[in-house]
Amino acid sequence: MQVVIYSSQVVHVHVSALGIVSLSNNEPERCSDAVKSQNGRGSWVMRKLFALIMALSMLVSCFGVAFAEGEPEQEITRELFEGTNGTTVRLAFNGVEFDTAALGKVVQEFVDETGYSVEIMYVPTTGGWGGYFNKLQTMIASGDTPDLIRIAIEGFHMFQSRGLIEPIDSYFETYPEQKAVLDGLHPSILEPFRVNGELYGLTFDWNNIVAHINTNILEEVGLEMPSEDWTYDTFLEYAQKMTFERPDGTKVYGTGLPDYYFAMSGWLFNNGASILNEDMTEARINSPESVEVFQFLQDLIYKYEVAPRQGHIPQR
């Protein structure tokens, strides 16, 4: 049995950032107005809200919703952290894909310091992000409305265009000391949440594309780490030198190609290409820059034979 080893591989990783937004004023007894009117404690409470519930990326309101069709009903896992003042902040997350214990610790600190209750709703994610978006819309339509939600950029454009979220600029105007939160986030990861100059959300986490290189293989073939400005030609040269077969029959490939669009997007962006145009209204997958990328990747497999064919790629 042949063992396949990758010398290098382009993958995506999550880079943590901070995120928090609040409910629209359509429900005056909910968190938004209660936070503003607690005997002059509004600024203090908002400061704690920004500091302790670093968990979300959208503001949800309660109008203009479209019902989801064909989504099987599933249970929402709910966790309540009880406070003392009768007001509850409701947070919606997609499933349970992260450290719930760590999130619970942060939320409990918020509850202890402010007196506000917090309900975390872990919403089923059958169907991936699309199923999650449909479930959120159904929840809003039925009155089971979160104050804050974690959502992907794809969902952000859908929710914003349907009037389900609203800008958060006024919160920073009311509580200018919280602008430090914005200063801690790179403009490029805030820009996707702006529409017509208005900011609708903050970053909770971000997908980044990196190249992992097996330094043991580098040493085995006598290569140094490539420079930061390496080119396609340099990449190919390294992949060729790092492709070989060991005496024990182990096949070492110079690279492993991505089979999912996050990592594939990294190749496209690097060559000035993209799947869609800037405002996501037209396909650009057939542009010359895009075709050049796919041709190069195909050549890595079939022409240069430095990457395995699909049947040799282990399941992720």
| Domain topology for 18-203 | D-Maltodextrin-Binding Protein; domain 2 (3.40.190)
Establish whether domains 4-14+208-312 and 18-203 are of one fold: yes
Per-residue pLDDT of the chain (316 residues; tens, 9 = 90+): 344 555 666 554 433 332 333 334 334 334 434 333 343 444 445 444 544 443 343 333 322 233 334 445 568 889 999 999 889 999 998 876 667 888 889 899 999 999 999 999 998 877 788 888 888 999 999 999 998 888 887 788 888 988 888 899 998 899 888 888 888 888 888 888 899 999 998 887 777 788 889 999 999 999 999 998 999 999 999 999 999 999 998 999 999 888 778 788 889 999 999 998 988 789 999 999 999 999 999 999 999 999 998 765 544 4
* d(C-alpha 159, C-alpha 149), whole Å: 11
User: What pTM did the predictor assign?
Assistant: 0.63
At 57 the pLDDT is 34
Question: Position of tokens 């050049």?
Answer: 292
| Domain topology for 4-14+208-312 | D-Maltodextrin-Binding Protein; domain 2 (3.40.190)
DSSP codes of every residue in the chain:
-PPEEESEEEEEEEEE--------TTSTTSHHHHHHHSTT-HHHHHHHHHHH-----EE--SSS-----SPPP-PPEEEEE--SSS-EEEEEEETT-S-HHHHHHHHHHHHHHH--EEEEEEE--TTHHHHHHHHHHHHHHTT---SEE---HHHHHHHHHTT-----HHHHHHSGGGHHHHHTS-HHHHGGGEETTEE----SEEEEEEEEE-HHHHHHHT-PPPPTT--HHHHHHHHHHT-EE-TTS-EEES-B---SHHHHHHHHHHTT--SB-TTSSSB-TTSHHHHHHHHHHHHHHHTS--S--GGGSPP-
Can you give the residue ranges of every domain in the chain? 4-14+208-312, 18-203
